Amino acid sequence: MSKVKLTWLGHSCFEIRSGKSIIIDPFIDENPAATVSASELEPDIIAVTHGHSDHLGDTVSIAKRTGCTVVCIHEISQYLKSKGIQTIGMNIGGNVKIDDFSFTMTDALHSSSIDESDWSFDGGKAAGFVITCDDISIYHAGDTGVFKDMELISELYHPDVALVPIGGRYTMDARDAAVAVKMLQVKIAIPMHYNTFKQIAQDPIYFRDCVKSLSGAEVLLMDINESINL
């Protein structure tokens, strides 16, 4: 067993801990399903998949307080830099290594904007990440519809674990996400981005059944704030 601990903080927000703490998509204080507060989080690195408020979330306040680095696509990096935040900008297909962690940015079939009350800022392209540390490779799909190049993600990066949205409406639903898991050829699939709001109500048991009929992946249904050792 590796030393990697994965915790679900709700919606698409996960912490990967292996010595240092990586938090992906820290949508916390406005997240009706979250049980922690953004002010309690002490990440070393935040990774943001795209600009929508349920993903960019509390990135600005957490990064300002902790001084952590934010890994994200170039356009969001420019936006965060203008707020005095330390960023590492990248783009689809690129890789950066920070300490013992490797971040590869993958495509996602989705949009991206940074929306404030009276204006909207171009968030560039929506993305996902393959994050590797301690010989464990975790694919966080971000928000996405299913797409055939998930086979390429499997071929290039061999993820062990896939974190996939199943809520439908804004992303793939349970059935499509099961097809994604099959293409990704992962050992473990964990659903996210469901039941946070009524628009993305979904039965994760149905997702588990769909995966079972299509691939040998094990589906782990995590509770919010639950941690697993990978």
Cβ 192 to Mn ion shortest distance, Å? 10
Residues ≥6 apart with Cβ < 8 Å to 117 = none
In a 13 Å sphere around the CA of 193, the CA atoms on its Cβ side amount to 26
How far CA 24 is from CA of 38, 74, 117, 127, 130, in Å, comes to 13, 17, 24, 12, 11
Q: Which is nearer to Mn ion, 54 or 176 (CB)?
A: 54
Q: Which is nearer to Ni ion, 58 or 143 (CB)?
A: 143
Tracing tokens 């293409």 back to the chain, one arrives at 183
Cβ 90 to Mn ion shortest distance, Å? 20
* 162 closest CA partner among 217, 215, 201: 217
Q: Is 58 in the site for Ni ion (CB under 5 A)?
A: no
Q: Is 173 in the site for Mn ion (CB under 5 A)?
A: no
Task: List, in sequence order, the alpha helices (H) in 58-173.
Answer: 59-66, 74-81, 150-157
Q: How far apart are CA 109 and CA 120, in angstroms?
A: 20
User: Considering only residues 15, 143, 173, 176, which one is a binding residue for Mn ion as defined by CB under 5 A?
Assistant: 143
* 165 closest CA partner among 196, 123, 132: 196
Cβ 207 to Ni ion shortest distance, Å? 19
Q: Is 54 in the site for Mn ion (CB under 5 A)?
A: yes
Give me the sign of the Cα torsion angle 179, 157, 141, 212. Answer: positive
Cβ 171 to Ni ion shortest distance, Å? 7
Cβ 48 to Ni ion shortest distance, Å? 11
Q: Which residues of 189-209 are buried (b: 16+ CB within 10 A; e: fewer)?
A: bbbbbbbbeeebebebeebbe
Q: Is 11 in the site for Ni ion (CB under 5 A)?
A: no
Single-letter amino acid, residue 101: F
Q: Is 193 in the site for Ni ion (CB under 5 A)?
A: no
Q: Of 1-9, 84-92, 143-151, 179-187, which segment contacts Ni ion by CB under 5 A? A: 143-151
Q: Which is nearer to Ni ion, 52 or 140 (CB)?
A: 52
Cβ 57 to Mn ion shortest distance, Å? 10
Q: Is 25 in the site for Mn ion (CB under 5 A)?
A: no
Task: For the segment 64-123, give every residue that binds Mn ion (CB under 5 A).
Answer: none
User: Considering only residues 107, 143, 173, 176, which one is a binding residue for Ni ion as defined by CB under 5 A?
Assistant: 143
Q: Which is nearer to Mn ion, 143 or 176 (CB)?
A: 143
| Contacting residues toward Mn ion, per CB under 5 A | 54, 143
| Contacting residues toward Ni ion, per CB under 5 A | 52, 143
